[in-house]
Amino acid sequence: MYAVIRAGGKQYRVAPGDVIRVEKLGTGTDGQVEFPVVAVSGEEGQLGVQSDARVVGDVMEEGRGAKILVFHYKRKKQYKKLRGHRQAFTAVRIAEIAFGGQSFKAPELPKKEAKPKKVKAEAEDHAEPKAKKAKKKASPKKAAKKGGKKK
């Protein structure tokens, strides 16, 4: 079971539970996004267009992709221009594909448990006093360089 959706001028083939990176979606997306459907396949593997089909996704993350360097150069003319670009994206997890009275939902994600914090024994920190560093006397060679007398 999959669907073909349109997002950001591109088409994506998605199934329930897939995570896709699409062009940055507007700021009005509060966790749920509905995509326009181009085509839907049923369990038999037939691909067709359904007018009542809908694909719903959950916004997982927003960020910027890797840097792409754009370098313009004209030989023999002393012309060089270097620019960088990072494309903004929105990562969306496909939660549900519904059409023709059928609904295919993604399995629930397991919830992450917080790791227990490590506790240092405070008694050990205070038990050892800090050792004082002994001052070293200058060697005779160094004293001679500074203008002092040799012993």
pLDDT band at residue 66, thresholds of 50, 70 and 90? very high
If you average pLDDT over residues 31-56, what whole number do you get? 80
pTM for the model: 0.65
Rg value, the chain, Cα: 32
**Are 83 and 73 within 8 A, CB to CB?**
no
Residues 6+ apart with CB under 8 A from 47: 39, 40, 41
Is residue 150 very low, low, confident or very high in pLDDT (cuts 50, 70, 90)? low
DSSP annotation of 105: E
What is the mean pLDDT of the segment spanning 18-47?
A: 81
Q: What is the pLDDT of residue 30?
A: 73
State how far Cα 41 lies from the chain centre. 31
